[in-house]
Chain A
């Protein structure tokens, strides 16, 4: 808690609701997903209806052989139907004048892979829903398999390190950019090391969703799958931002803008050294990852510059 003498963190100014989750939920120790799930309703308020799906969020949002661990209205979906269910809810709530913020809350695997078609469809139709993808760079609930968001070279259980292959062979999908190309009413990236930035973006999302589709991409390391010490996850988020591995940016009405420009970006090794999913990396692998990170950042930066 904040002590009397210390300056109160400004992020509290964005809170409008108490924590909607029970204490001691079934997430792994140190998992940023838990903090994200607790944080979002505190900023967005209780009129949220969450649409969730199998993934690490499900055991808590939906409940696994026990009741759910929160107080929000919630609809469970298979991975292929999340934004479409949200569409059905939001269309009807809007029609009857029911005040509601419909939020899809899924992992990167659902968003970038098996659930991508309906996500793209809902974005193109400008449905009034918020889609929040927490990005732990793989299918964590099923045991750390690769997704389209898994980075180049990363070792997962389906892109293992072996005699003739060393981790994932391709770069990750640039999902925020792909979603921006749908021209949503709002798109933003966020992560837990930059909470006030995250809160501002949630507030903006809540405003902009009245006009149309909103996509939020939240970097959310997985201590278990990435093999990170459980007290280091926020540090990992911070270094992902400081290395430009995960740029913080947004796009309101299609206009991209960096919300944080890192003055002296660190080399990506400052991030990768904090976890063991890259521990097999040789110098050349690191150079390849650095190149992928630089390329991606340059693209986003030039887009943002073009709109300055």
Chain B
């Protein structure tokens, strides 16, 4: 494989990118149900189908639970599948999400992140993806429109890998990216074919076909159940390395690298590190540049892979740092820290004694602004110098 042809550059929204990304991977069965801020994906894929651009089946289901069940079963029968949702849609799939990963069905789903509590919370936030944390899926969070597209393509390489065979949820901030039109390079479909071609060289995965006595389901025999769960967890462990490998292969071919499990920005010589995810990380980088000019040695970890949690790579970067600030766009009910901070704190023994400061910001469409991030960096920097600090700060509540 040399490198891909230059693709066509178009200014399109994150949702449109989601639809293009899916279409380029030639899914054979697609099912989706509209919900703000994802609806445009369902509409566009229907249009692609109507125009004959999308060759796969498009099932206009009567709800998200059915969307997930349709793609799950089609995947078990051997199809490449795609679906997209958000918020309540994701939560309405909850039983089917668990079945999908239990079946080891390599479904690819896009989730435009939106708040979940209260019907009026039609706004951005990552609470939906957090609510689906323990469903056994691979969860990846991306930052911008180009990354949505590239990550969907990489998602098929990962999900359908013979050693993985797990469903994957590509998350992007709803509203922010759903409706943001950016210049995006859309690869040629032949190049996407070429990138996904190695999947064809693998052993064939087991499929449900008529005439063959095979039962599949998620509640099984006692030891059979335990073994299936064990293998599922082992596969999730393998995901971490695969994400890095696939990122490298993608970059080598298409010329865009994302760092795999995490993306580091100016962390090498940093004393303090900010951990954030999604669309806010662009702003964080800008503020880091400003603070660097002021002499603060600060870096960023953009968390891309949330499940499985990239423990080893995080430890590698954070070991020996003087203080860490984590910005969460969601809540971990019953803990005072945000969810990503909670996860990171589980690595404290390996990371060392650095204070870890938790920040809750950007809920319900509230922007994570330049002043907010400036404040975070200043406080984390002070904590690194041994000054007293607040463990958890809800930034909007203190403004």
Contacts and interface: CB of A to CB of B under 8 A. Distances in A.
Nearest to B60: A125
Give the top 8 A-B pairs by smallest Cβ distance, nearest first. A76-B217, A121-B62, A88-B73, A84-B69, A88-B74, A81-B69, A85-B73, A84-B66
B119 interface: no
B59 interface: yes
Given A49-B210, A63-B221, A125-B59, A88 B29 contact: yes
Nearest to A102: B210
B29 A80 contact: no
A272 to B, nearest CB: 37
A254 interface: no
Interface residues of B, number: 43
Interface in A77-115: 77-78, 80-81, 83-89, 91-93, 95-96, 98-101
Interface stretch (A66-74, A131-139, A192-200): A66-74
Interface in B208-223: 208-222
B57 A95 contact: yes
B65 A84 contact: yes
A92 B31 contact: no
A172 B293 CA distance: 75
B251 interface: no
Nearest to B65: A80
Q: Is the interface of A mostly helix, strand, loop or mixed?
A: mixed
Contact of B216 (A47, A76, A95): A76
Contacts of A61: 215
A87 B214 CA distance: 19
Interface of A: 46-49, 51, 61-63, 65-68, 70-78, 80-81, 83-89, 91-93, 95-96, 98-101, 117-118, 120-122, 124-125
A61 B214 CA distance: 11
Given A76-B216, A87-B31, A95-B57, 13 more contacts: A68-B215, A75-B73, A75-B217, A76-B218, A81-B95, A84-B61, A84-B73, A87-B61, A88-B73, A88-B81, A93-B77, A125-B59, A125-B60
A118 B95 CA distance: 14
A78 B97 CA distance: 11
B62 A91 contact: no
Nearest to B63: A117
B211 A78 contact: no
Contacts of B65: 80-81, 84, 117-118
Interface in B117-147: none
Contact of A75 (B63, B66, B76): B76
Nearest to B58: A91
Nearest to B61: A121
Contacts of B208: 49, 73, 75, 89
B99 interface: yes
Interface string B214-251: 11111111100000000000000000000000000000
B96 interface: yes
B34 to A, nearest CB: 14
A118 B96 CA distance: 13
Interface in B189-223: 208-222
Given A46-B211, A47-B211, A86 B73 contact: yes
B73 A89 contact: yes
Contacts of A101: 210
Of B60, B72, B73, which is in contact with the most chain A CB atoms at under 10 Å from its CB?
B73
Contacts of A122: 66
Contacts of A125: 59-60
A78 B221 contact: no
B185 interface: no
Contact of B78 (A63, A65, A84, A92): A92
A76 B69 CA distance: 11
B210 A85 contact: no
Contact of B210 (A86, A87, A98): A98
A72 B70 CA distance: 21
B28 interface: yes
B73 A78 contact: no
Nearest to B98: A78
B79 interface: yes
B216 A75 contact: yes
Contacts of B217: 62, 74-77
Contact of B29 (A77, A92, A99): A92
Nearest to B225: A65
Interface string B51-92: 000000101111101111111111111110100000000000
Contacts of A68: 213, 215
B77 A88 contact: yes
Nearest to B67: A84
B57 A124 contact: no
Contacts of B220: 63
A232 to B, nearest CB: 33
8 contacts: A47-B210, A62-B217, A68-B213, A73-B214, A84-B65, A84-B67, A89-B74, A89-B77
A65 B215 CA distance: 13
Contact of A87 (B63, B70, B96, B99): B70
Contacts of A77: 69, 99, 217
Interface string B30-53: 010000000000000000000000
B63 A121 contact: yes
Contact of A74 (B69, B71, B215, B221): B215
Contacts of B69: 77, 80-81, 84-85, 87-88, 118
A130 to B, nearest CB: 13
Contacts of A96: 78
A114 B215 CA distance: 23
A66 B223 CA distance: 11
B230 to A, nearest CB: 18
A166 B72 CA distance: 44
A51 B70 CA distance: 12
A43 to B, nearest CB: 16
Nearest to B62: A121
Of A62, A65, A73, A118, which is in contact with the most chain B CB atoms at under 10 Å from its CB?
A73
